[in-house]
Amino acid sequence: MRISLILLLCCACIFPATAQERLIAYNKKSGLTSSEITVTLVDSRGVVWFGTSNGLSAFSGQKWYPVKNIQVEEPGKAVAIGKVKIIFEDSKRRLWVGSSTGLFIYKNNYWSYFETDEDDDFRPARIMEDRQGRIWIASEYLQLINASVQLSLTLTNGMLQLYTGERWIDFNDQIGGTVAVTSGYPTEYFTALFQDCEGDVWAGSLEGAFEFDGKHWKEYKEDELKSEKVQFMMEDMNGEIWVALDNGVARQDKEAWITYKKKDGLPGSRVYRLQHDNKNRIWAFTANNLNFAGLSMFEGGKWHAFTGKDYKMKATVQVLSTYEDGVMAFSQDGVAAYDGKAWYRFGKKDGLDEHRFTAFKKGPYGQFWLAGEHGFYRFGGSKWERLLEQSERWRVSVIFVEAPGRVWVGTERSGAYRHSNGQWKHFTTDSGLADNRVLDIFKDKKGAVWIVSKSGVTQVLKE
């Protein structure tokens, strides 16, 4: 592995303002390496990082620092960062960047490029730091194969590496390989990477689940899980490992695995997501092929299946959030709550007189927020309160809760809205927004709000 270094370069640019807030819009001409933002991060020092389709742009609060290319050891040769997919900061304040061209690290004002002589096609897909300070890199690459006019396959390839702080370790002999995925199904080779409460590291993949105790790997495949195609993995509140599979669920009970199928109470044969609620009940999202089939809850040693007939919604349940002793489920045609005994679908008498919804958010302060096609709502504990009514149809893309009672709403074409102290304010390109097509909203460590849009970013400063 070769490491090359380069110092960070800089430039800065500022745009006009509004009355109560000052909006500063940035695009490719005014500080960004590209107007297409792919990922963002506010690091521990307060620097705001924007990954773009053409490198990185870092904002220190005063200046922009663009990084497009990294100089390598060979004189006159540089490596373009390309499209950034991951930005990760570790406990030592090193910044790890995974992009379309490879893996980069920023430390002590220097950039390093990690290049392997083999496996040049692999690109970082997941980055994790364990409690020992080791960095785990799960890398993948895809190959599209048209098997026939009716059938296309994707060959997804994966490999796992570990950086100890002193050296790199490849686990190609234990983990990694190639899997053919039918068109329409998720193509990620690695589906999980985490450290459990006892310190073991787990990796889930389309070729099985793997456990690392610090010295040796254990693999769990067809014999233990009854399937190799791991869709999702998690650890519950009791430290038990749960695995979602293409044909059911597996639970690790001490050294043995217990498997559950559709006949055991799963509405669909394929389970693609798992989560637990405040009572440590396990919830499974299930499907038949690619079609959502329903939810199932594991309690008292058995599964309890719920479908649209139970929560009275036809669309796919997209979000399941903890709510008191139960959960609240969101789909595009409504919201329903489960109190531990029964489901209740919110309707007109509960303040919801719409039938189509686009966004749902449980904020950090416990409140629930909901966007319909013609309004925006806040849940008051028993009923929904309409905070905004739109005469024309809008489509909300993001909800960001800045503080108690202060929420931002980004839309696909109508700019951004902010609700505070019972008042709404609308931000568009006319008031200084970079673009009315909002993708994300977040806050930095200095209190500025950033609005990420299709053609740039906007910094909102309080006057």
φ/ψ of 262, rounded to 5, equals: -60, -35
Calculate mean pLDDT across residues 265-276.
Answer: 98
d(CA 91, CA 39): 20
What is the C-alpha to C-alpha distance for residues 314 and 83, in angstroms, rounded to an integer? 38
Contacts 24+ apart (CB under 8 A), 280-284: 280/236, 280/237, 280/238, 282/236, 282/242, 283/320, 283/327, 284/244, 284/249
How buried is residue 73: exposed, middle or buried, by Cβ count under 10 Å (0-12/13-18/19+)? Answer: exposed
Q: Are 261 and 286 in contact (CB under 8 A)?
A: no
Residues 6+ apart with CB under 8 A from 18: 431, 432
Q: How high is the pLDDT of residue 147?
A: 63
pLDDT, residue 252, reads 95
Given a contact cutoff of 8 angstroms between Cβ atoms, the answer to whether 397 and 390 are in contact is: no
In terms of Cβ atoms closer than 10 Å to its own Cβ (0-12, 13-18, 19+), residue 112 is: middle
Average of per-residue pLDDT values in the chain? 92
Provide the token pair at 249. 């669920």
Whether pLDDT at 102 is above 50: yes
Question: What is the full DSSP assignment across 149-202?
Answer: SS-EEEEEEEEEEEE-SS-EEE-TTTSEEEEEEETTS---SEEEEEE-TTS-EE
What confidence score (pLDDT) does residue 13 get? Answer: 30
Query: Please, which pLDDT band fits residue 156 given cuts at 50, 70 and 90?
Result: very high
Length of the chain, please?
463
SS3 for 118?
A: coil
H helices present in 289-336, as ranges: 308-311
Q: Please answer whether residues 191 and 233 qualify as being in contact, where contact means their C-beta atoms are separated by less than 8 angstroms.
A: yes
Do 357 and 336 touch, CB atoms closer than 8 A? no
Find the helix or strand (DSSP H, E) in which 65 lies: strand 64-67
CA distance 325 to 428: 40
DSSP label at residue 316: P
pLDDT recorded at residue 117: 60
- Written as six digits, the tokens of 280 are 């440590």
The per-residue pLDDT for 391 is 86
Least confident window among 2-16, 314-328, 347-361? 2-16
Q: What is the pLDDT of residues 205-247, one digit of tens each?
A: 999 999 999 999 999 999 999 999 999 999 999 999 999 999 9
Beta bridge partners of 95: 89, 106
**Strand, helix or coil for residue 332:** coil
The continuous run of DSSP H or E covering 322 comes out as strand 319-323
Q: What is the separation, in whole angstroms, between the first and last Cα of the chain?
A: 50
Residue 16 confidence (pLDDT) above 60: no
Q: Using alpha carbons only, what angle is made at residue 441 by residues 191 and 423, rounded to the nearest 5 degrees?
A: 140
